[in-house]
Amino acid sequence: MATALGGQAAYAVRNVIVGDSGKITLGEEFRKELREAYTDSQIDRAIDRAPSSVPSLDPLKLLAHIRRACSYAKQDDLATDKKLAAFGKGQSPRKTFQR
Query: How is the chain split into domains, by residue range?
Result: 7-87
Q: Collapse the DSSP code of 3 into the 3-class scheme (helix H, G, I; strand E, B; otherwise coil) and give the result.
A: coil
Residue 63's Cβ-side half-sphere holds a number of Cα atoms within 13 Å equal to 16
Burial group, residue 15, by CB count within 10 angstroms (0-12, 13-18, 19+): buried
**What is the pTM (predicted TM-score) of this model?**
0.74
Predicted confidence band of residue 4 (pLDDT cuts 50, 70, 90): low
pLDDT digits (tens, 9 = 90+) for 52-96: 777 778 888 899 899 999 999 999 998 888 887 776 665 555 656
Q: What is the pLDDT of residue 5?
A: 61
